[in-house]
Amino acid sequence: MRLLVVEDDADLNRQIKEALEEAGYVVDVATDGEEGHFLGDTEPYDCVILDIGLPQMDGISVLKRWREHGRSMPVLILTARDRWSDKVAGIDAGADDYVAKPFHIEEILARVRALIRRAAGHATSELRCGPLTVDTKTSKASIDGTTLKLTSHEFRVLSYLMHHQSEVVSRTELTEHLYDQDFDRDSNTVEVFVGRLRKKIGQDLIETVRGLGYRLNAPDQSADGTQ
C-alpha cells in the first residue's frame, strides 16, 4: 500500500513517515500544499494524511481541488485540537476522517488501516479469501491457520490483492502501489513476487488474466479465460 504524508513540520513528517514504513507501507512525503496537491493529483495513493495548516496552499484548498478533479483516495486530515471549525471544513471538503494534534502515532496507524480497508469494502482488519487470511493490523498472513513467512514486498503484493480481491489488478497498478515516487520501477519484478507467493499460498488463489494482470479469488470463484 502506498501513502502520501503532507505535513510542513519536518520532525512530525519524519515521525509519521517512519512509523508508516515500519508498519509496511510505502510512503511519499510533501512539506507544502502545492507539492502535496501535485503528488495527490498525479500519483496513485491508497490513503493520504493531510495537514490543514500548510504553506503555499492550505490543506482544505488542496483537498477541495483533489475532489473537484475526481481524486477519490481516502484522506485523513490533521487538525489543531482547539479548532473544531477546521474539522467541519475538512469533512465538508471531502475528508474521510480526522485526527487532532497532538496525537499518538498508533492512532494514525489505526485510522489509516480503517480507511484503506473501508475504501476496499472490508469491515475488519482481518481479510479472508478461502483458506488465506491477512491481518492488516499485525501485517501477518496465514494459510489454513499456518503463518506464512513473507518478505516485505511479498506481503505488500498480497495485501494489495487481498484488498482488491475478485478485481483484475494490472502489473502497472501493482508496481505503482509497491514503490515510492523515487524508486526505479520495473513491472517485471511483480511477476517474481507473484511467483513466490504462489509457491507459498498455492497456485489456485492468484489467477493470471491474460493481457490484463492478476486476480485473487477463492478457489470456487475462478473465472473462465484465466490460467
- For the entire predicted model, the pTM comes to 0.81
Half-sphere exposure of 176 (CA within 13 A, CB side): 11
Average pLDDT, the chain: 89
What H or E segment, with its residue span, contains residue 4?
A: strand 2-6
In the chain, the amino acid numbered 5 is V
Cα separation of 17 and 48, whole Å?
A: 12
Domain 126-221 has CATH 1.10.10.10: yes
Peptide bond into 131 cis (omega under 30): no
| Location of C-alpha cell 487532532 | 100
> Which amino acid, residue 212?
L
Mean pLDDT of 83-111: 91
Please state, for a pLDDT cut of 90, what percent of the chain lies above it: 66
Map residue 147 onto helix, strand or coil: strand
* Mean pLDDT on 217-223: 64
Give the 3-state secondary structure of residue 129.
strand
**Distance from C-alpha of 142 to C-alpha of 146, rounded to nearest angstrom:** 5
Task: Give the pLDDT of residue 43.
Answer: 93
Residues 14-33: tens digit of each pLDDT: 999 999 999 989 999 999 99
Is residue 219 predicted with pLDDT exceeding 90?
A: no
Q: Residue 84, CB half-sphere, CA atoms under 13 Å: how many? A: 0
How far apart, in whole angstroms, are the C-alpha atoms of residue 198 and residue 205? 8
pLDDT band at 125; cut points 50, 70, 90 = confident
Segment 219-224 mean pLDDT: 56
Residue 220: the pLDDT is 67
Pick the CATH number of 2-119 from 3.30.70.580, 3.40.50.2300, 3.30.300.30, 3.30.70.270: 3.40.50.2300
User: What are the residue boundaries of the structural domains of the chain, listed by start?
Assistant: 2-119, 126-221
pLDDT tens, 153-179? 899 999 999 999 889 999 888 888 887
